[in-house]
Amino acid sequence: MTIRHLKLAEAADGVAEEDQRTTAIVQDMLQDIRSRGEDAVCMYAEKFDNWSGDFVLSEEKLATLIESVPQSVKDDIDFAHRQIRRFAEAQRDSLTSFEIETEPGVVLGQRVLPIDAAGCYVPGGRYAHAASALMSVATAKAAGVKHITACSPPRGDSINPAVAYAMHVAGADRILEMGGVHAVASMAFGLFGGREADILVGPGNAFVAEAKRLLFGQVGIDVFAGPTESAVIADHTADPMTIAVDLVSQAEHGPNSPVWLFTTSEEVARRVIELVPLVGNDMPNAEVIHAAWRDYGEVILCDTREEVVQISDQYACEHLQVLCEDLEWWKQNLGNYGSLFLGEGSTVTHGDKCSGTNHILPTKRAGRYSGGLNVHKFMKVLTTQQLSAEANLKFSAIGSRISRTEGMEGHARACDWRLTKYFPEQDWDFPVYAQKRY
Ligand SMILES: NC(=O)c1ccc[n+]([C@@H]2O[C@H](COP(=O)([O-])OP(=O)(O)OC[C@H]3O[C@@H](n4cnc5c(N)ncnc54)[C@H](O)[C@@H]3O)[C@@H](O)[C@H]2O)c1
Ligand SMILES: N[C@H](CO)Cc1c[nH]c[nH+]1
Ligand SMILES: [Zn+2]
Protein backbone atom coordinates (compact mmCIF):
# COMPACT_ATOMS: atom_id res chain seq x y z
CA MET A 1 0.00 0.00 0.00
CA THR A 2 1.41 3.41 -0.91
CA ILE A 3 -0.30 5.92 1.29
CA ARG A 4 1.17 9.30 2.08
CA HIS A 5 0.46 11.43 5.11
CA LEU A 6 0.20 14.97 3.66
CA LYS A 7 -0.65 16.41 7.06
CA LEU A 8 0.26 14.84 10.39
CA ALA A 9 -1.49 15.34 13.74
CA GLU A 10 0.93 17.34 15.88
CA ALA A 11 -0.51 16.01 19.18
CA ALA A 12 -0.14 12.35 18.19
CA ASP A 13 2.60 11.50 20.73
CA GLY A 14 0.87 12.94 23.78
CA VAL A 15 -2.55 11.30 23.31
CA ALA A 16 -1.84 8.09 25.26
CA GLU A 17 -0.45 10.00 28.28
CA GLU A 18 -3.43 12.36 28.24
CA ASP A 19 -5.82 9.35 28.24
CA GLN A 20 -3.95 7.88 31.24
CA ARG A 21 -4.21 11.15 33.17
CA THR A 22 -7.97 11.30 32.48
CA THR A 23 -8.43 7.72 33.70
CA ALA A 24 -6.56 8.41 36.95
CA ILE A 25 -8.60 11.57 37.65
CA VAL A 26 -11.92 9.84 36.94
CA GLN A 27 -11.04 6.75 39.01
CA ASP A 28 -10.25 8.96 42.04
CA MET A 29 -13.47 10.93 41.63
CA LEU A 30 -15.66 7.81 41.31
CA GLN A 31 -14.02 6.23 44.35
CA ASP A 32 -14.60 9.40 46.38
CA ILE A 33 -18.27 9.62 45.31
CA ARG A 34 -18.73 5.92 46.10
CA SER A 35 -17.51 6.45 49.66
CA ARG A 36 -18.71 9.99 50.48
CA GLY A 37 -21.87 10.10 48.29
CA GLU A 38 -23.70 13.40 47.88
CA ASP A 39 -21.14 15.41 49.89
CA ALA A 40 -18.46 14.54 47.35
CA VAL A 41 -20.79 15.43 44.46
CA CYS A 42 -21.47 18.86 46.01
CA MET A 43 -17.73 19.45 46.25
CA TYR A 44 -17.09 18.59 42.58
CA ALA A 45 -20.07 20.63 41.37
CA GLU A 46 -18.61 23.65 43.19
CA LYS A 47 -15.10 22.97 41.93
CA PHE A 48 -15.79 22.26 38.24
CA ASP A 49 -19.06 24.09 37.56
CA ASN A 50 -19.13 26.77 40.23
CA TRP A 51 -22.55 25.44 41.35
CA SER A 52 -23.85 25.35 44.89
CA GLY A 53 -27.61 25.28 44.16
CA ASP A 54 -30.09 22.38 44.23
CA PHE A 55 -29.50 19.66 41.68
CA VAL A 56 -33.00 18.33 41.07
CA LEU A 57 -34.76 20.72 38.68
CA SER A 58 -38.14 21.63 40.20
CA GLU A 59 -41.41 21.75 38.18
CA GLU A 60 -41.62 25.51 38.80
CA LYS A 61 -38.09 26.23 37.61
CA LEU A 62 -38.58 23.98 34.57
CA ALA A 63 -41.74 25.92 33.65
CA THR A 64 -39.82 29.21 33.96
CA LEU A 65 -36.99 27.92 31.77
CA ILE A 66 -39.43 26.63 29.13
CA GLU A 67 -41.25 29.97 29.20
CA SER A 68 -37.96 31.71 28.35
CA VAL A 69 -37.39 29.64 25.17
CA PRO A 70 -38.50 31.57 22.05
CA GLN A 71 -41.35 29.89 20.11
CA SER A 72 -39.19 29.60 16.96
CA VAL A 73 -36.60 27.60 18.94
CA LYS A 74 -39.36 25.39 20.36
CA ASP A 75 -40.71 24.78 16.82
CA ASP A 76 -37.29 23.63 15.59
CA ILE A 77 -36.72 21.39 18.60
CA ASP A 78 -40.23 19.94 18.16
CA PHE A 79 -39.44 19.18 14.48
CA ALA A 80 -36.15 17.46 15.35
CA HIS A 81 -37.88 15.59 18.19
CA ARG A 82 -40.51 14.18 15.77
CA GLN A 83 -37.81 13.02 13.31
CA ILE A 84 -35.69 11.36 16.01
CA ARG A 85 -38.65 9.69 17.74
CA ARG A 86 -40.00 8.43 14.40
CA PHE A 87 -36.69 6.85 13.43
CA ALA A 88 -36.32 5.24 16.86
CA GLU A 89 -39.88 3.81 16.62
CA ALA A 90 -39.08 2.38 13.17
CA GLN A 91 -36.02 0.68 14.70
CA ARG A 92 -38.08 -0.64 17.62
CA ASP A 93 -40.72 -2.22 15.38
CA SER A 94 -38.13 -4.32 13.58
CA LEU A 95 -37.15 -6.12 16.80
CA THR A 96 -40.10 -8.00 18.23
CA SER A 97 -41.18 -10.58 20.73
CA PHE A 98 -42.18 -14.00 19.34
CA GLU A 99 -42.95 -17.60 20.32
CA ILE A 100 -42.49 -20.75 18.21
CA GLU A 101 -43.21 -24.42 18.79
CA THR A 102 -40.02 -26.12 17.54
CA GLU A 103 -41.19 -29.66 18.32
CA PRO A 104 -44.51 -30.86 19.78
CA GLY A 105 -44.72 -29.52 23.34
CA VAL A 106 -41.59 -27.32 23.11
CA VAL A 107 -42.44 -23.64 23.03
CA LEU A 108 -39.50 -21.25 22.81
CA GLY A 109 -39.80 -17.53 22.75
CA GLN A 110 -38.19 -14.18 23.20
CA ARG A 111 -39.55 -11.16 24.99
CA VAL A 112 -38.19 -7.75 24.14
CA LEU A 113 -38.51 -5.61 27.25
CA PRO A 114 -37.40 -2.06 27.93
CA ILE A 115 -34.74 -1.42 30.54
CA ASP A 116 -36.33 0.05 33.65
CA ALA A 117 -34.23 3.17 34.42
CA ALA A 118 -31.94 5.23 32.19
CA GLY A 119 -29.56 8.08 33.01
CA CYS A 120 -29.11 10.40 30.02
CA TYR A 121 -26.04 12.64 30.06
CA VAL A 122 -26.45 15.81 27.99
CA PRO A 123 -23.19 17.71 27.48
CA GLY A 124 -23.12 21.38 28.29
CA GLY A 125 -19.55 22.51 28.91
CA ARG A 126 -18.75 24.35 25.68
CA TYR A 127 -22.14 24.39 23.90
CA ALA A 128 -25.83 23.98 24.79
CA HIS A 129 -26.46 20.51 23.34
CA ALA A 130 -30.28 20.59 23.01
CA ALA A 131 -30.19 18.03 20.20
CA SER A 132 -28.23 15.58 22.40
CA ALA A 133 -31.12 15.67 24.91
CA LEU A 134 -33.52 14.60 22.15
CA MET A 135 -31.16 11.86 20.96
CA SER A 136 -31.00 10.05 24.29
CA VAL A 137 -34.32 10.88 25.96
CA ALA A 138 -36.61 10.47 22.91
CA THR A 139 -34.94 7.17 22.05
CA ALA A 140 -35.31 5.85 25.61
CA LYS A 141 -38.95 6.93 25.55
CA ALA A 142 -39.58 5.15 22.21
CA ALA A 143 -38.11 2.00 23.77
CA GLY A 144 -40.55 2.26 26.69
CA VAL A 145 -38.06 3.05 29.50
CA LYS A 146 -40.15 3.91 32.58
CA HIS A 147 -37.74 6.09 34.57
CA ILE A 148 -35.63 8.58 32.64
CA THR A 149 -33.28 10.97 34.41
CA ALA A 150 -31.50 13.57 32.30
CA CYS A 151 -28.68 15.81 33.46
CA SER A 152 -26.59 18.65 32.08
CA PRO A 153 -24.03 21.02 33.60
CA PRO A 154 -25.52 24.28 34.85
CA ARG A 155 -24.09 27.54 33.59
CA GLY A 156 -24.90 30.61 35.70
CA ASP A 157 -28.28 30.10 37.40
CA SER A 158 -29.49 27.01 35.58
CA ILE A 159 -29.00 24.54 32.80
CA ASN A 160 -29.61 26.00 29.36
CA PRO A 161 -33.38 26.68 28.81
CA ALA A 162 -33.44 25.12 25.31
CA VAL A 163 -31.77 22.00 26.75
CA ALA A 164 -34.40 21.91 29.53
CA TYR A 165 -37.16 22.26 26.91
CA ALA A 166 -35.70 19.45 24.77
CA MET A 167 -35.40 17.15 27.82
CA HIS A 168 -38.98 17.97 28.77
CA VAL A 169 -40.63 17.47 25.33
CA ALA A 170 -38.69 14.26 24.78
CA GLY A 171 -40.10 12.89 28.05
CA ALA A 172 -37.49 13.11 30.84
CA ASP A 173 -39.08 12.29 34.21
CA ARG A 174 -36.40 13.98 36.28
CA ILE A 175 -33.79 16.58 35.47
CA LEU A 176 -30.55 17.18 37.34
CA GLU A 177 -28.75 20.48 37.00
CA MET A 178 -25.36 18.82 37.16
CA GLY A 179 -22.64 17.74 34.73
CA GLY A 180 -19.30 15.95 34.54
CA VAL A 181 -18.12 12.80 36.35
CA HIS A 182 -20.16 13.55 39.46
CA ALA A 183 -23.40 13.73 37.43
CA VAL A 184 -22.65 10.39 35.77
CA ALA A 185 -21.91 8.89 39.20
CA SER A 186 -25.04 10.43 40.77
CA MET A 187 -27.25 8.79 38.15
CA ALA A 188 -25.42 5.46 38.44
CA PHE A 189 -25.56 5.38 42.26
CA GLY A 190 -29.10 6.82 42.55
CA LEU A 191 -28.09 9.92 44.54
CA PHE A 192 -30.32 12.95 45.26
CA GLY A 193 -33.45 10.81 45.59
CA GLY A 194 -33.21 9.28 42.11
CA ARG A 195 -33.26 5.65 41.02
CA GLU A 196 -30.04 3.82 40.30
CA ALA A 197 -29.70 3.88 36.52
CA ASP A 198 -29.70 0.51 34.79
CA ILE A 199 -28.05 2.13 31.79
CA LEU A 200 -26.06 5.33 31.34
CA VAL A 201 -26.16 6.92 27.91
CA GLY A 202 -25.11 10.09 26.16
CA PRO A 203 -21.98 11.75 24.88
CA GLY A 204 -19.56 13.93 26.77
CA ASN A 205 -16.01 15.13 27.07
CA ALA A 206 -13.10 12.78 27.87
CA PHE A 207 -13.93 12.78 31.62
CA VAL A 208 -17.60 11.95 31.09
CA ALA A 209 -16.85 9.20 28.56
CA GLU A 210 -14.21 7.71 30.87
CA ALA A 211 -16.61 7.77 33.86
CA LYS A 212 -19.17 5.77 31.89
CA ARG A 213 -16.49 3.33 30.74
CA LEU A 214 -15.27 2.77 34.32
CA LEU A 215 -18.83 2.24 35.61
CA PHE A 216 -19.68 -0.27 32.89
CA GLY A 217 -20.48 -3.58 34.54
CA GLN A 218 -22.19 -2.02 37.50
CA VAL A 219 -24.48 -0.38 34.92
CA GLY A 220 -24.93 -0.80 31.19
CA ILE A 221 -23.68 1.90 28.86
CA ASP A 222 -24.58 2.80 25.30
CA VAL A 223 -21.12 3.11 23.77
CA PHE A 224 -17.83 4.93 24.31
CA ALA A 225 -18.98 8.33 22.92
CA GLY A 226 -16.16 10.77 23.65
CA PRO A 227 -14.79 13.81 21.83
CA THR A 228 -16.24 14.12 18.32
CA GLU A 229 -14.33 12.83 15.31
CA SER A 230 -15.05 13.36 11.63
CA ALA A 231 -13.56 12.10 8.40
CA VAL A 232 -14.19 12.93 4.77
CA ILE A 233 -13.40 10.54 1.95
CA ALA A 234 -12.96 12.43 -1.32
CA ASP A 235 -11.99 11.65 -4.89
CA HIS A 236 -11.07 14.06 -7.72
CA THR A 237 -14.76 15.01 -8.21
CA ALA A 238 -15.15 16.48 -4.70
CA ASP A 239 -15.43 20.22 -4.06
CA PRO A 240 -12.52 21.21 -1.74
CA MET A 241 -14.54 24.08 -0.28
CA THR A 242 -17.34 21.71 0.77
CA ILE A 243 -14.75 19.45 2.40
CA ALA A 244 -13.11 22.35 4.25
CA VAL A 245 -16.46 23.72 5.50
CA ASP A 246 -17.51 20.28 6.72
CA LEU A 247 -14.18 19.52 8.44
CA VAL A 248 -14.28 22.90 10.20
CA SER A 249 -17.88 22.25 11.26
CA GLN A 250 -16.87 19.27 13.38
CA ALA A 251 -13.50 20.64 14.52
CA GLU A 252 -15.47 23.27 16.42
CA HIS A 253 -16.48 20.60 18.96
CA GLY A 254 -13.21 21.04 20.84
CA PRO A 255 -9.43 21.35 20.57
CA ASN A 256 -9.16 17.55 20.83
CA SER A 257 -11.68 16.77 18.08
CA PRO A 258 -9.84 15.08 15.20
CA VAL A 259 -10.84 15.77 11.59
CA TRP A 260 -9.37 13.64 8.83
CA LEU A 261 -9.30 13.62 5.04
CA PHE A 262 -8.67 10.38 3.13
CA THR A 263 -8.34 11.00 -0.57
CA THR A 264 -7.13 9.70 -3.90
CA SER A 265 -6.60 13.22 -5.26
CA GLU A 266 -3.45 15.14 -4.34
CA GLU A 267 -4.91 18.28 -5.92
CA VAL A 268 -8.02 18.13 -3.72
CA ALA A 269 -5.86 17.37 -0.65
CA ARG A 270 -3.52 20.34 -1.17
CA ARG A 271 -6.44 22.72 -1.72
CA VAL A 272 -8.20 21.49 1.44
CA ILE A 273 -5.00 22.02 3.46
CA GLU A 274 -4.99 25.65 2.23
CA LEU A 275 -8.70 26.19 2.81
CA VAL A 276 -9.30 24.78 6.31
CA PRO A 277 -7.38 27.52 8.20
CA LEU A 278 -9.03 30.21 6.04
CA VAL A 279 -12.55 28.88 6.60
CA GLY A 280 -11.75 28.42 10.31
CA ASN A 281 -10.45 31.99 10.68
CA ASP A 282 -13.84 33.40 10.01
CA MET A 283 -15.47 31.71 12.99
CA PRO A 284 -16.20 32.98 16.51
CA ASN A 285 -14.42 29.92 17.90
CA ALA A 286 -11.46 30.06 15.48
CA GLU A 287 -9.00 29.19 18.24
CA VAL A 288 -10.66 25.85 18.97
CA ILE A 289 -10.83 24.99 15.27
CA HIS A 290 -7.18 25.87 14.64
CA ALA A 291 -6.05 23.80 17.64
CA ALA A 292 -8.10 20.77 16.55
CA TRP A 293 -6.77 21.02 12.98
CA ARG A 294 -3.16 21.59 14.06
CA ASP A 295 -2.99 18.94 16.78
CA TYR A 296 -5.38 16.27 15.53
CA GLY A 297 -6.02 16.99 11.83
CA GLU A 298 -4.60 14.55 9.29
CA VAL A 299 -4.64 14.30 5.50
CA ILE A 300 -3.86 10.94 3.96
CA LEU A 301 -3.31 10.39 0.26
CA CYS A 302 -3.92 6.94 -1.22
CA ASP A 303 -3.44 5.52 -4.72
CA THR A 304 -6.68 3.59 -4.94
CA ARG A 305 -10.15 3.61 -3.44
CA GLU A 306 -9.48 0.14 -1.99
CA GLU A 307 -6.58 1.65 -0.01
CA VAL A 308 -8.89 4.43 1.20
CA VAL A 309 -11.36 1.82 2.47
CA GLN A 310 -8.54 0.05 4.32
CA ILE A 311 -7.34 3.28 6.00
CA SER A 312 -10.84 4.45 6.80
CA ASP A 313 -11.81 1.11 8.37
CA GLN A 314 -8.62 1.27 10.46
CA TYR A 315 -9.54 4.74 11.81
CA ALA A 316 -13.19 3.64 12.32
CA CYS A 317 -14.21 7.28 12.50
CA GLU A 318 -17.34 8.42 14.31
CA HIS A 319 -18.70 10.37 11.31
CA LEU A 320 -17.71 9.43 7.80
CA GLN A 321 -18.64 11.53 4.78
CA VAL A 322 -18.15 10.28 1.23
CA LEU A 323 -17.76 12.87 -1.50
CA CYS A 324 -16.95 10.60 -4.43
CA GLU A 325 -18.33 9.02 -7.58
CA ASP A 326 -20.17 5.71 -7.25
CA LEU A 327 -21.59 6.17 -3.74
CA GLU A 328 -23.15 2.71 -3.81
CA TRP A 329 -19.68 1.12 -4.09
CA TRP A 330 -18.52 3.02 -1.00
CA LYS A 331 -21.65 2.09 0.95
CA GLN A 332 -21.08 -1.59 0.16
CA ASN A 333 -17.36 -1.57 0.96
CA LEU A 334 -16.91 0.62 4.05
CA GLY A 335 -17.35 -1.36 7.26
CA ASN A 336 -16.19 0.65 10.30
CA TYR A 337 -17.77 3.98 11.23
CA GLY A 338 -20.42 5.43 13.56
CA SER A 339 -22.62 6.98 10.88
CA LEU A 340 -22.18 7.36 7.14
CA PHE A 341 -23.07 10.51 5.18
CA LEU A 342 -23.28 9.88 1.45
CA GLY A 343 -22.90 12.62 -1.15
CA GLU A 344 -22.56 16.37 -1.05
CA GLY A 345 -26.18 16.89 0.00
CA SER A 346 -25.58 15.20 3.36
CA THR A 347 -23.56 17.05 5.96
CA VAL A 348 -22.88 15.81 9.49
CA THR A 349 -24.94 18.72 10.83
CA HIS A 350 -28.09 17.04 9.43
CA GLY A 351 -27.49 13.95 11.56
CA ASP A 352 -26.32 16.06 14.50
CA LYS A 353 -29.45 18.14 14.68
CA CYS A 354 -32.58 17.00 12.91
CA SER A 355 -32.60 14.28 10.22
CA GLY A 356 -33.54 11.60 12.76
CA THR A 357 -30.62 9.13 13.01
CA ASN A 358 -28.91 9.22 16.37
CA HIS A 359 -25.87 11.47 16.83
CA ILE A 360 -24.56 9.66 19.93
CA LEU A 361 -21.90 7.65 18.17
CA PRO A 362 -18.77 5.57 18.87
CA THR A 363 -15.39 7.32 19.09
CA LYS A 364 -11.79 6.18 19.61
CA ARG A 365 -12.22 3.31 17.14
CA ALA A 366 -15.21 1.84 19.00
CA GLY A 367 -16.93 1.80 15.58
CA ARG A 368 -15.03 -1.47 14.97
CA TYR A 369 -17.33 -3.28 17.39
CA SER A 370 -20.37 -1.08 17.96
CA GLY A 371 -22.75 1.28 16.28
CA GLY A 372 -24.11 4.34 18.06
CA LEU A 373 -27.03 4.80 20.41
CA ASN A 374 -30.21 3.24 19.07
CA VAL A 375 -33.51 2.08 20.48
CA HIS A 376 -32.22 -1.49 20.98
CA LYS A 377 -29.63 -0.29 23.50
CA PHE A 378 -32.57 0.44 25.81
CA MET A 379 -34.13 -2.99 25.26
CA LYS A 380 -33.32 -6.43 26.58
CA VAL A 381 -33.95 -9.57 24.56
CA LEU A 382 -35.05 -12.15 27.14
CA THR A 383 -35.75 -15.76 26.24
CA THR A 384 -38.48 -18.09 27.55
CA GLN A 385 -39.28 -21.81 27.25
CA GLN A 386 -42.03 -24.19 28.28
CA LEU A 387 -41.75 -27.98 27.72
CA SER A 388 -44.67 -30.36 28.13
CA ALA A 389 -44.29 -33.65 30.07
CA GLU A 390 -44.37 -35.53 26.72
CA ALA A 391 -41.55 -33.40 25.26
CA ASN A 392 -39.34 -34.64 28.12
CA LEU A 393 -39.12 -38.09 26.58
CA LYS A 394 -36.75 -36.67 23.98
CA PHE A 395 -35.36 -33.49 25.51
CA SER A 396 -34.59 -34.89 28.98
CA ALA A 397 -32.94 -37.98 27.48
CA ILE A 398 -30.69 -35.81 25.32
CA GLY A 399 -30.09 -33.27 28.11
CA SER A 400 -29.14 -36.07 30.51
CA ARG A 401 -26.69 -37.70 28.10
CA ILE A 402 -24.96 -34.44 27.18
CA SER A 403 -24.66 -33.51 30.87
CA ARG A 404 -22.93 -36.81 31.74
CA THR A 405 -20.60 -36.49 28.75
CA GLU A 406 -19.58 -33.14 30.25
CA GLY A 407 -19.21 -34.62 33.74
CA MET A 408 -22.17 -32.65 35.14
CA GLU A 409 -24.09 -35.17 37.27
CA GLY A 410 -26.43 -32.59 38.89
CA HIS A 411 -27.60 -31.39 35.50
CA ALA A 412 -28.10 -34.96 34.30
CA ARG A 413 -30.22 -35.88 37.33
CA ALA A 414 -32.53 -32.89 36.77
CA CYS A 415 -33.44 -34.53 33.46
CA ASP A 416 -33.42 -38.08 34.87
CA TRP A 417 -35.88 -37.01 37.57
CA ARG A 418 -38.36 -35.94 34.91
CA LEU A 419 -37.84 -39.08 32.84
CA THR A 420 -38.55 -41.35 35.81
CA LYS A 421 -41.40 -39.15 37.04
CA TYR A 422 -43.24 -38.80 33.71
CA PHE A 423 -42.33 -42.22 32.25
CA PRO A 424 -42.05 -44.63 35.22
CA GLU A 425 -42.60 -47.75 33.09
CA GLN A 426 -40.02 -46.93 30.41
CA ASP A 427 -36.84 -48.97 29.79
CA TRP A 428 -33.89 -46.77 28.95
CA ASP A 429 -30.93 -47.75 26.79
CA PHE A 430 -28.65 -45.38 28.71
CA PRO A 431 -28.06 -44.99 32.50
CA VAL A 432 -30.89 -43.07 34.16
CA TYR A 433 -30.56 -42.29 37.86
CA ALA A 434 -33.70 -43.09 39.86
CA GLN A 435 -33.88 -40.27 42.38
CA LYS A 436 -35.09 -41.24 45.87
CA ARG A 437 -38.25 -39.43 47.01
CA TYR A 438 -37.59 -38.02 50.46
N1 LIG B 1 -19.43 11.04 20.45
C2 LIG B 1 -20.59 11.65 20.44
O3 LIG B 1 -21.60 11.06 20.10
C4 LIG B 1 -20.69 13.10 20.83
C5 LIG B 1 -21.87 13.82 20.62
C6 LIG B 1 -21.96 15.15 21.07
C7 LIG B 1 -20.88 15.72 21.72
N8 LIG B 1 -19.75 14.99 21.87
C9 LIG B 1 -18.59 15.50 22.61
O10 LIG B 1 -19.05 15.84 23.89
C11 LIG B 1 -18.11 16.72 24.47
C12 LIG B 1 -18.81 17.81 25.24
O13 LIG B 1 -17.85 18.32 26.10
P14 LIG B 1 -18.07 19.57 27.02
O15 LIG B 1 -16.81 19.74 27.82
O16 LIG B 1 -18.54 20.71 26.20
O17 LIG B 1 -19.28 19.19 27.96
P18 LIG B 1 -19.48 18.04 29.05
O19 LIG B 1 -20.81 18.30 29.64
O20 LIG B 1 -19.24 16.70 28.45
O21 LIG B 1 -18.36 18.25 30.15
C22 LIG B 1 -18.36 19.38 30.95
C23 LIG B 1 -18.14 18.97 32.40
O24 LIG B 1 -16.91 18.26 32.56
C25 LIG B 1 -16.47 18.43 33.90
N26 LIG B 1 -15.02 18.73 33.91
C27 LIG B 1 -14.42 19.75 33.27
N28 LIG B 1 -13.09 19.72 33.52
C29 LIG B 1 -12.85 18.68 34.33
C30 LIG B 1 -11.70 18.12 34.95
N31 LIG B 1 -10.49 18.68 34.77
N32 LIG B 1 -11.82 17.02 35.71
C33 LIG B 1 -13.03 16.44 35.90
N34 LIG B 1 -14.16 16.94 35.35
C35 LIG B 1 -14.08 18.03 34.58
C36 LIG B 1 -17.24 19.59 34.49
O37 LIG B 1 -18.09 19.12 35.49
C38 LIG B 1 -18.05 20.14 33.32
O39 LIG B 1 -19.34 20.56 33.65
C40 LIG B 1 -17.24 17.22 23.32
O41 LIG B 1 -15.98 16.61 23.42
C42 LIG B 1 -17.99 16.75 22.09
O43 LIG B 1 -17.13 16.51 21.00
C44 LIG B 1 -19.65 13.70 21.46
N1 LIG C 1 -21.25 15.73 16.13
C2 LIG C 1 -21.63 15.38 17.48
C3 LIG C 1 -21.41 13.90 17.69
O4 LIG C 1 -20.07 13.68 17.90
C5 LIG C 1 -23.06 15.67 17.80
C6 LIG C 1 -23.41 17.09 17.81
C7 LIG C 1 -24.36 17.70 18.52
N8 LIG C 1 -24.36 18.99 18.18
C9 LIG C 1 -23.45 19.18 17.32
N10 LIG C 1 -22.86 18.02 17.05
ZN1 LIG D 1 -21.30 17.86 15.61
Residues 242 and 179 in one domain: no
Residues near ligand 2 (Cβ within 6 A): 129, 131-132, 228, 250, 318, 348, 352, 359, 361
Residues 275 and 208 in one domain: no
Ligand 2 pocket mutation, candidates 228, 296, 341, criterion most atoms within 8 A of CB: 228
What local confidence, expressed as pLDDT, does residue 226 receive? 87
Mean pLDDT of 269-278: 98
Looking at the DSSP assignment, which residues form a beta bridge with residue 4?
301
Quick check: 319 and 361 in contact, CB under 8 A? yes
Q: Write the CA distances from 66 to 59, 164, 169, 365, 369, integer angstroms.
A: 10, 7, 10, 38, 39
Atom of ligand 2 nearest to the CA of 363: 4
What local confidence, expressed as pLDDT, does residue 16 receive? 83
Residues 317 and 331 in one domain: yes
Residue 274 lies in a domain: yes
Q: Which residue has the higher pLDDT, 391 or 98?
A: 391
pLDDT in tens, 309-349: 999 999 999 999 999 999 999 999 999 999 999 999 999 99
Residues 194 and 233 in one domain: no
Residue 183 lies in a domain: yes
Q: What is the CATH number of the domain that holds 55?
A: 3.40.50.1980
Confidence of residue 380 (pLDDT cuts 50, 70, 90): very high
What local confidence, expressed as pLDDT, does residue 95 receive? 82
Mean pLDDT of 286-290: 97
How far apart are the CA of 371 and the centre of ligand 2, in A?
15
Clarify whether 298 is annotated catalytic. Answer: no
Q: Indicate the SS3 state at residue 172.
A: coil
Domain that holds residue 417: 388-438
Confidence of residue 219 (pLDDT cuts 50, 70, 90): very high
Quick check: 423 and 431 in contact, CB under 8 A? no
Quick check: 141 and 224 in contact, CB under 8 A? no
Average pLDDT of the chain is 96
Burial class (CB in 10 A: 0-12, 13-18, 19+), 287: exposed
Measured between alpha carbons, how far is 169 from 192 in angstroms, rounded to an integer? 23
Q: Count structural domains, the chain.
A: 3
What local confidence, expressed as pLDDT, does residue 18 receive? 87
Residues 361 and 262 in one domain: yes
* Strand 319-323 relative to strand 220-221, pairing: unpaired
Residue 437 lies in a domain: yes
Residue nearest (by alpha carbon) to ligand 2 atom 7: 352
pLDDT in tens, 15-72: 788 889 999 999 999 999 999 999 999 999 999 999 999 999 999 999 999 999 999 9
Residue nearest (by alpha carbon) to ligand 1 atom 29: 48
CB atoms within 10 A of CB 3: 15
Residues 288 and 367 in one domain: yes
What local confidence, expressed as pLDDT, does residue 94 receive? 82
Residue 280 lies in a domain: yes
Residue 27 lies in a domain: no
pLDDT in tens, 153-208: 999 999 999 999 999 999 999 999 999 999 999 999 999 999 999 999 999 999 99
The ipTM (two decimal places) reads 0.97
What local confidence, expressed as pLDDT, does residue 15 receive? 79
Confidence of residue 114 (pLDDT cuts 50, 70, 90): very high
- Report the percentage of the chain scoring pLDDT > 90: 93
**Model pTM?**
0.91
* Strand 106-114 relative to strand 98-103, pairing: antiparallel
Confidence of residue 93 (pLDDT cuts 50, 70, 90): confident
Residue 25 lies in a domain: no
Which of the residues 147, 319, 350, 359 is marked catalytic?
319
Domain boundary among 192, 225, 258: 225
Residues 282 and 344 in one domain: yes
Residue 281 lies in a domain: yes
CA-based max dimension of the chain: 89
Q: Indicate the SS3 state at residue 61.
A: helix
Domain boundary among 337, 371, 405: 371
Residues 365 and 341 in one domain: yes
What local confidence, expressed as pLDDT, does residue 370 receive? 95
Residues 170 and 237 in one domain: no
Residues near ligand 1 (Cβ within 6 A): 25, 48-49, 123-126, 132, 153, 179-181, 203-205, 207-208, 225-228, 253-254, 257, 318, 359-361, 363
Residues 239 and 153 in one domain: no
Weakest mean pLDDT among 3-7, 287-291, 310-314, 369-373: 3-7
Residue 28 lies in a domain: no
Confidence of residue 98 (pLDDT cuts 50, 70, 90): confident
Mean pLDDT of 297-313: 98
Residues 208 and 130 in one domain: yes
How far apart are the CA of 343 and the centre of ligand 2, in A?
19
Confidence of residue 14 (pLDDT cuts 50, 70, 90): confident
Domain boundary among 225, 248, 277: 225
Residues 361 and 400 in one domain: no
